[in-house]
Amino acid sequence: MKTKRSWNVKPSKFAVKTVNPIRSIVDNLHINPNTTKSVISLSIGDPTTFGNLQPCPEITSAIVESVTSAEYNGYAPSTGYRKSREAVAEYAFRPDAPLEPEDVILTSGCSHALEMCILGLANPGQNILIPRPGFSIYKTIAQSMEIETKSYDLLPNLGWQVDLAHLESQIDSQTAAIVINNPSNPCGSVFSKRHLKAIVEVANRNCVPIIADEIYEDFVFRGEEFHPIATLSTHVPILSCGGLTKKFLVPGWRMGWVLIHDRQNIFGKEIRSGLQALSQRIIGSNTIVQGALPSILQDTPETFFEDNIEIVQRNAHLAYSILNDVPGLCPIMPKGAMYMMVGIQKTSFSKFKHDMDFVECLMSEQSVFCLPGRCFDYPNYFRIVLTVPEPLMIEACDRIKEFCTNHYTLDTPTSSFNTEMLLKNQMPLQV
């Protein structure tokens, strides 16, 4: 006979191990704005927050049509409707990286695509290599499944290029994949063709597949070029993760994709079946957005993308020109995406123990909130977003300048800052 036991409901190990470092760092910050100043948040990576960047009519009307057609209310195949996958394959097709609809899996945002790729390639006990500084979700996904993450360094003095020797030194027999993020959050860097080829070469020498987080694809400033890494690989199999989120300014629509590039058939049927099986865990992505995908991808005018990039690039220049003149700060000019990393010279702000102190005090005095570099595993920096309306960008940077001027404690020439940071191999050289 069953006896009634007492209640003892505990979260699973999986739930407990699912930690988003950004949330746990931000939740532990003391964020108390100065009540005499309006809050300017330079922390949120959602380009729609301020209302100045919105999807164009072609994008929104495609959704309206998808809803009113009543054709997309049911379940789709878990990898997505064929018509929608065809549209993505056509959109992402390059002569050097051809794609068929079978090579596309639609996902719930790029985060889901990344999860599918990481869990599709790595077992508990194995490891994946991730960039430092880097977006935190790779670690969140991996560690919850007991997949180890090993960081490889990005070099601020070289435009945040990958330290290739360090990358290669991190590879071991248990390395299941190298994650690269180009253009980068939080750095705003854009890798050259040559550099991407060098990364592919490292992967090729060591027979490790690449997971490419390309959610900021094409979001590059004038004069820069985005190269999908798959176009530069003939042998290394590549899973490219992307979506509508950033380029089309609709993060809430949760539409992403995995593109399978495997010209030598190294992944073969097994990895494809594995990814397909993983797509069945949530029975596929939002069907209304799938219905709208062909129109969104085909009809969105180029001017929409150009105008958005122009706004972000202008903000990047404005922010850089103000912050670069602030003693003790070292902004690194981005080439794309929506962010800028700013180095904090510790010796110039002796009052602050670390970047967390710095951003807390900045908030309490100037009501400007930035994410501390620690959120990206990179102390002594903070990240600002560049998607705010221009007057707010200027106001925020002026307030940061006032704050730094008020707290500047040591008249250390910039060169000492450079030496200090160089020694730590985290050196943002001023150029």
Residue from 110, 230, 329, 340 that binds ligand PLP (CB under 6 A)? 110
Q: From residue 49 to residue 78, what is the string marking binding to ligand PLP with x (rule CB under 6 A)?
A: ------------------------------
Q: Which residues contact 238 (CB under 8 A, 6 or more apart)?
A: 209, 210, 211, 212, 229, 230, 261, 262
Residues 259-318 close enough to bind ligand PLP by CB under 6 A: none
Structure tokens at 239: 């899973």
159 sits near ligand PLP (criterion: CB under 6 A): no
Q: CB-wise, 151 or 245, nearer to ligand PLP? A: 245
| Residue with the shortest CB distance to ligand PLP | 109
DSSP 35-103: TTS--EE-----TTTTSSS---HHHHHHHHHHHHT--SSSPPPTT--HHHHHHHHHHH-BTTB---GGG
Measured from the CB of residue 261, what is the shortest distance to ligand PLP in angstroms? 18
Report 186-215 residues binding ligand PLP (CB under 6 A): 213, 215
Counting beta carbons within 10 angstroms of the beta carbon of residue 15, is it exposed (0 to 12), middle (13 to 18) or buried (19 or more)?
A: exposed
160 binds ligand PLP (CB under 6 A): no
Residue 416 token pair? 């000492």
Does the protein bind ligand PLP through residue 111 (CB under 6 A)? yes
Whether 186 and 383 have beta carbons less than 8 Å apart is answered as yes
Encoded tokens for 232: 């530069």
Q: Quote the least distance from Cβ 243 to ligand PLP, whole Å.
A: 5
**Total residues contacting ligand PLP (rule CB under 6 A)?**
14
Does position 428 bind ligand PLP by CB under 6 A?
Answer: no
Nearer to ligand PLP, 240 or 366 (CB): 240
Convert residues 117-146 into a mask of x (bound to ligand PLP by CB under 6 A) and - (unbound): ------------------x-x---------
Helix (H) or strand (E) holding 344: strand 339-344
The CB-of-347 to ligand PLP minimum distance in angstroms stands at 31
Specify whether the CB–CB gap between 358 and 382 falls below 8 A: yes
Among residues 276, 237, 240, which one has the least CA distance to residue 258?
240
Rounded Cα gap, residues 134 and 375, in angstroms: 9
| 183 makes contact with ligand PLP (CB under 6 A) | no
Order the strands of the 210-213 sheet from edge to edge: 104-107, 256-261, 238-243, 210-213, 175-181, 127-132, 148-155, 161-162
Q: For residue 420, how many other CB atoms are within 10 A of its CB?
A: 16
Residues 6+ apart with CB under 8 A from 203: 178, 209, 210, 233, 236
Give the residue with the Cβ less far from ligand PLP, 135 or 152.
135
Residue 417 binding ligand PLP, by CB under 6 A? no
User: With binding defined as CB under 6 A, does residue 372 bind ligand PLP?
Assistant: no
- Specify the residue, 137 or 329, whose C-beta has the smaller distance to ligand PLP: 137
Does 387 bind ligand PLP (CB under 6 A)? Our answer is no
Please say which residue, 340 or 421, places its beta carbon nearer to ligand PLP: 340
Using the contact rule CB under 6 A, the part of the chain among 78-86, 108-116, 276-284, 352-360 near ligand PLP is: 108-116
Q: Which residue, chain included where needed, has tokens 């927050």?
A: 49
Q: Show contacts with ligand PLP in window 211-250 (CB under 6 A).
A: 213, 215, 243, 245
Residues of this chain that interact with ligand PLP (CB under 6 A) are: 45, 109-111, 135, 137, 181, 185, 213, 215, 243, 245, 251, 256
